[in-house]
Structure 1
């Protein structure tokens, strides 16, 4: 065996011997089975390649495998912009002394469909990075070639209306996108123009466009006359997005990921939780597939694109953060494990600035977002701070399994197989540790993004961008989500509260924090309604209002237990609860799943405010 130290390139001796050998393949009798023959077993292009291989000379083998001195993937004719950018081969293909096992253990590599894909250290596919494999061509579909036929098969044709499309797109970028920042409007618009000119794009796709139109149609107050009458506009564009998505899954791009992220919210708004949850999980898999979890190391591959779009790096990071925020909030809303909770360590939380600030243009039949110049600039950081808050909220789920028992009931909590204790700072209790983390998050929040508790009395005279109000709503829900597990429905006069002084103090403190946070949520809802109307709020608000309403129900139940239904505290709890129900009713104009939240609050109030049912643990 030759010494590895003197190895200078791949050994072609085997191919040299095989070059003069005719292939010995079994002959198939054509008449034995009239339905089977060589023409049905192989495609014409494959037969041509087989004949070419059988007659190739030994000296031609290196040229087929790639020049040993330098392999240039720009010769690949895949029609994708990425293939013209990667020109360097791995060392072991260039004839260096490095063996395949000594190469980088993972990374983003060019694949059969063109764009870079991530392969980890256990994948054997990582050894063929940037190699041309011209004889293996999987059947891949795409929206440009097969989209029209796919739409016709499901009867979703639409001639289009540029004015109406612009109207829905503006609604999307005004009311939905600023909260999580999944799509950068300037880059999206430029990529759409390129696509219409016949160029290949990876930040625009028909699936993404129709997903944007579907969400915009949810906020719209009018519909286009050319739309089919049998569909509601959000469902029509959502179905079109799914039809295109099925094609794009053969060769997914960042636009595909963005489309899935938007569709998960659309399904949540419609109350289709299982489908929305699955779409959210698919976005996590695409984060791995595209290598976005590598802190954007692969952006060096797209140097020319970075020169064209200065905000590309910001977009990649914002997409990753949007997926994290969405997946973690889905986890909280469903009580299921978050796929992204172990990935947050890979991406730094440094702030970035988008390449083009968001503009709030006046929209027909919808309120205009009004804000000061300083507030508008500060509001650009909302997705970043939502991501950081989502990371803190993810710890809330951990406490449900890390704690040995509930302080309010004494019941043992069954640990989950996916739970893992998070690192505590110093040696405080878990409750104090998370409380400090949330306080640190609030302390780091810029003044333009914070609505102080001291402003509650004058809040009706304040003006904030919609996403700033939504961010503060999310913070107060985080307070409730953590402290609710220590919450007891027992009032001060009830003797059935926790037996120890420490447990009683902890439960009473948690109870007060939940009530205060739920009251702040109601006041912020009043502010949002006054400035914009609750039909223009983000879909995440449904779970926030539902959470606050449950706290007000529990608070009222404590007064019923103590026979204090005529007290001022009981009256306020009922007033706040009615406000939550009214808010959900207004949201139902945009989000049908709000009706389910109303039914849940109504049922809980009937159950928990019935004295005969208060003996049942309501935690």
Structure 2
């Protein structure tokens, strides 16, 4: 046969064969829904959704990599450095040893003994070299005890809370919390908490329990969780008041569980629309994390203090949870970041401690969220800070770099967190919404329609940059709407979604509104805005800010575009995102994350849990500032939104 005929007869290569052709080791043309061989023999043709390691990178991803390599080579060449030159290993080793020795000189320590830790409360506190206290520990010097030292209050009876909450209700709310809130905001380790709760261990306190019950109540439709049976926004309020009473006492002797409770109380305040109080309590949690050295990896203190592997993992988990919340909260409020990556040196949580597939998936979720929040921080600090770290000439290169970093993050996601196939983990969809929100925040400074934006583009020589940025933000806004549709298909609604979906949806709606030209709205634009309003309506059941944002967005659409969207409206046709954004493969996991309960359940607690139990309000024992923060938030809510 002539060479030309051989070339023509060669079959088409495919990167992935069907399961039947794999089993028979036969050639497969990769056609879908059925390959030619299976069609010929009337065999069921199926393709595996698992990762086979041969999936090629997308063209846009390869182009970004090439641009990045070229940029780095040009950068080195301008400074007289040869990109191809090899660095001496000996010099690297010497430099590394020098840096390690230098770091050793500035190490602090976690202290229990009262020569450093003057609180002497049995909790480890961190002290650095500038404190001047480290020499006391080295010399074994112990300060004299103050004769007027405070007497610690007696701890609450371990069963004091048992009389307040029916066991069935307590179990129900704890399960709801760990099913819907904890996977996204992992400030509590489920295994440690449940084990300590059963054995009265150190990782359980009544304060932490009431904080968990308060957050769990936000996800429950049961009437007895409300202080006002007709107001869903009062769900969990009774548990919050109990937690605040205990917090007032525990702040005198804070521990790891105090940090966890502060984070949950702060999240509860945000859920009810009290942003100022939420910001305050998260700030206290952040400060205490520094006090206890959570911003330094516990492995650095190995040998100096006794710490189990589970406690080390918990410290890392708490730190990174607060770090991620700081970035998401900074975007949500438009404020500065208060926990910077450079201020901590903590290893990522390890899969070694995960004992089952569910824990593995939840841990992968946290690691992925950490990594994208690190990119998030760079975007906020470089483009959105009061004093941005980049000037106008550096911004186009930064845009290309961050787009590459975000694309790399998406490309490296494990199959358990991908959503091109139905994913049983609802928080995976929220994770992808965060990814697209980061792209919008990155591109937005280049698309703002005012004179300075055009001036910056001309001055930096990046005439193509605004066009590219508009394309990035528009594609991501559409992708967020498509992800919302996929979420609804699999889970019904956003009723139990984390609050992060609120800001993601608002970011998408803002871009969609900016893309409306001349006030004429296309049917596709209307459908996407209907999706955004519908998502906010569904989130409003748990998160009060979503209710107010949805109301304001609906009012804006009515006044500016004469578009009236009724509560609960949904887009008439499904939306599709760009293939490049949602094409990463995923593998389904048989995990049960959805908890069911009876929303029509009525009980003797219809007048609210405190009244039914005959308990007095818990506010009398609190300092005035708690009531002040609540009053300020209620007064300023309308002005804030």
TM range (shorter): 0.5 to 0.7
**Within 2, Cα distance between the matches of 1:508 and 1:137?**
69
Return the match for 1:117 from 108, 125, 133: 125
Matches within 5 A, 1:469-484: 469-484=429-444
Quick one: structure 1 residues 282 and 501, their matched pair in 2 at CA, closer, same or farther if it must change by over 3 Å?
closer
State the number of aligned residues. 443
Return the match for 2:405 from 437, 444, 457: 437
Alignment partner of 1:384 is 2:360: no
Matches within 5 A, 1:379-528: 379-400=362-383, 416=386, 419-420=388-389, 429-451=397-419, 455=420, 462-488=422-448, 503-528=462-487
Aligned CA RMSD, in angstroms, stands at 3.6
Alignment partner of 1:573 is 2:525: yes
Determine if contact 1:142/1:250 at 8 Å carries over to the other structure: no
Determine if contact 1:293/1:343 at 8 Å carries over to the other structure: no
**Within 1, Cα distance between the matches of 2:108 and 2:455?**
58
**Within 1, Cα distance between the matches of 2:457 and 2:518?**
18
**Within 2, Cα distance between the matches of 1:445 and 1:225?**
38
Quick one: structure 1 residues 170 and 429, their matched pair in 2 at CA, closer, same or farther if it must change by over 3 Å?
same
Q: Tell me the SS of whatever aligns to 2:111.
A: strand
Q: Tell me the SS of whatever aligns to 2:351.
A: coil
**Within 2, Cα distance between the matches of 1:584 and 1:345?**
35
Q: Tell me the SS of whatever aligns to 1:294.
A: coil
**Within 2, Cα distance between the matches of 1:598 and 1:377?**
35
**Within 1, Cα distance between the matches of 2:302 and 2:216?**
31
1:210-268 per-residue CA deviation (whole Å, 9 max, x = no partner) reads 11111100001214489786993311112222221121111111111111112222122
**Within 1, Cα distance between the matches of 2:171 and 2:368?**
29
**Within 1, Cα distance between the matches of 2:423 and 2:466?**
36
1:180 equivalent in structure 2: 185
TM-score, with structure 2 as normaliser: 0.62
**Within 2, Cα distance between the matches of 1:211 and 1:358?**
27
Structure with higher Rg: it is 1
Determine if contact 2:108/2:127 at 8 Å carries over to the other structure: yes
**Within 2, Cα distance between the matches of 1:435 and 1:515?**
14
2:291 equivalent in structure 1: 289
Offset, 1:284: 1.6
2:69 equivalent in structure 1: none
Offset, 1:517: 0.9
1:326 equivalent in structure 2: 325
Offset, 1:465: 0.7
**Within 1, Cα distance between the matches of 2:539 and 2:474?**
23
What runs of 5+ residues in structure 1 fail to find an aligned partner? Answer: 1-101, 152-156, 360-375, 402-414, 611-619
Q: Tell me the SS of whatever aligns to 1:380.
A: helix
Quick one: structure 1 residues 450 and 143, their matched pair in 2 at CA, closer, same or farther if it must change by over 3 Å?
farther
More displaced 10-residue stretch of structure 1: 110-119 or 121-130: 121-130
Quick one: structure 1 residues 136 and 550, their matched pair in 2 at CA, closer, same or farther if it must change by over 3 Å?
farther
**Within 1, Cα distance between the matches of 2:241 and 2:559?**
39
2:222 equivalent in structure 1: 222
2:252 equivalent in structure 1: 250
Return the match for 1:194 from 193, 196, 199: 199
Determine if contact 2:537/2:547 at 8 Å carries over to the other structure: yes
> Which structure carries more relative contact order (alpha carbon 8 Å, separation 6+)?
2
Determine if contact 2:295/2:344 at 8 Å carries over to the other structure: no
Quick one: structure 1 residues 597 and 186, their matched pair in 2 at CA, closer, same or farther if it must change by over 3 Å?
same
1:555 equivalent in structure 2: 515
1:299-351 per-residue CA deviation (whole Å, 9 max, x = no partner) reads 65663x62xxx533222211111010011211121222212114465123464
1:594 equivalent in structure 2: 546
Q: Tell me the SS of whatever aligns to 1:122.
A: helix
Return the match for 2:498 from 538, 558, 566: 538
1:39 equivalent in structure 2: none
Determine if contact 2:316/2:347 at 8 Å carries over to the other structure: no
1:37 equivalent in structure 2: none
Quick one: structure 1 residues 501 and 136, their matched pair in 2 at CA, closer, same or farther if it must change by over 3 Å?
closer
